[in-house]
Amino acid sequence: MKAKILLTLLLLIVFHHTKADEGMWMISNLSSRTDSILHSMGLELSQDELYSTEQPSLNDAVVIFGGFCSGVVVSNDGLVFTNHHCGFDAINEHTTVKHNYLKNGFIANNYKEELPNDGLYVLFHLKTIDVTDRVLSQVNDSMDVKQRLKTIKEAMYSIEEEVTDNPNFIYGVVKSYNRDNKFYLSIYQRYNDVRLVFAPPRSLGQFGGDTDNWEWPRQTCDFSVFRIYADKNNQPADYNKNNQPFHPKRYAQISVKGYQPGAFCMTLGFPGSTERYLSSYGIESNMTTINDIIYKVRDLKLGILNKAMKADEEIDIKYASRYFSSSNHMKYAYGQNEALKNLKVADEKKELEKEVNEWIINNNESKYLGVLDSLKKQYENNFEKQYTYILLVESFTSGSDILNYIINKVMRHNITKNKAFRKNLKEFYDGIDIELDKKVFAAMAKNYLQMSINPQNRPDFFDEIDSCYGGDIDAFTDALYAKSKLGDKSRYTKIKNVDDIISDPFFDIAISIRACLSENYPNRTEIEQNERVFEEALREMNKDKELYPDANFTLRLSYGTIKPLNNNYTTYPQSLIDKSKNQVDNPEYKLIPEVEKWLNDNDFGEQYLDDTHNLPLCFITNNDITGGNSGSGIFNGKGQLIGLAFDGNWEAMSSDFKFDRNLQRCIGVDIRYVLSVIEDYGKAKRLINELSINH
Which residues contact residue 142 at a Cβ distance below 8 angstroms, ignoring those fewer than 6 apart?
Answer: none
Burial call 28-66: b when 16+ CB within 10 Å, e when fewer: bebeeebeebbeebbbebebebbbbeeeebbbbbbbbbb
Active site residue 222: yes
**Residue 510: helix, strand or coil by DSSP?**
helix
Asked whether the beta carbons of 231 and 237 are under 8 A apart, the reply is yes
Angle at 118 between CA 112 and CA 122, to 5 degrees: 90
Of 583, 586, 560, 582, nearest in space to 655 by CA: 560
Instruction: Select which of 255, 321, 630, 655 is catalytic.
Output: 630
Asked whether the beta carbons of 440 and 400 are under 8 A apart, the reply is yes
Asked whether the beta carbons of 75 and 130 are under 8 A apart, the reply is no
C-alpha span between 392 and 560 (Å, rounded): 41
Asked whether the beta carbons of 666 and 267 are under 8 A apart, the reply is yes
Active site residue 630: yes
For the chain, first and last CA: distance in Å?
Answer: 47
Q: Which helix (H) or strand (E) segment is 319 a member of? A: helix 313-342
Asked whether the beta carbons of 386 and 522 are under 8 A apart, the reply is yes
Active site residue 85: yes
693-694 vs 254-255, strand pairing mode: parallel
Asked whether the beta carbons of 612 and 631 are under 8 A apart, the reply is no
Q: What is the CA radius of gyration of the chain?
A: 26
Asked whether the beta carbons of 356 and 537 are under 8 A apart, the reply is yes
69-73 vs 79-82, strand pairing mode: antiparallel
Asked whether the beta carbons of 293 and 391 are under 8 A apart, the reply is yes
Question: Could you please report the per-residue DSSP string of 191-212?
Answer: E-EEEEEEE--HHHHTTTHHHH
Count of helices and strands (H, E) across the chain: 26, 20
Instruction: Select which of 57, 70, 85, 680 is catalytic.
Output: 85
Neighbours of 303 (CB within 10 A): 10
C-alpha span between 398 and 394 (Å, rounded): 5
**Residue 556: helix, strand or coil by DSSP?**
strand
C-alpha span between 393 and 114 (Å, rounded): 38
* Residue 466 phi, psi (nearest 5): -70, -45
Of 324, 344, 321, nearest in space to 332 by CA: 324
DSSP 691: B
In total, the chain counts a number of residues equal to: 695
Runs of H (alpha helix) within 564-634: 573-582, 593-600
Which residues contact residue 425 at a Cβ distance below 8 angstroms, ignoring those fewer than 6 apart?
Answer: 492, 495
C-alpha span between 16 and 36 (Å, rounded): 12
Q: What is the largest CA-CA distance in the chain?
A: 91
Q: Which helix (H) or strand (E) segment is 357 a member of? A: helix 345-362
Question: Could you please report the per-residue DSSP string of 254-292?
Answer: EE-S---TT-EEEEEE------TT--HHHHHHHIIIIIH
C-alpha span between 76 and 74 (Å, rounded): 7
* Residue 114 phi, psi (nearest 5): -70, 130
Which residues contact residue 658 at a Cβ distance below 8 angstroms, ignoring those fewer than 6 apart?
Answer: 276, 343, 345, 348, 349
Catalytic residues: 85, 222, 630
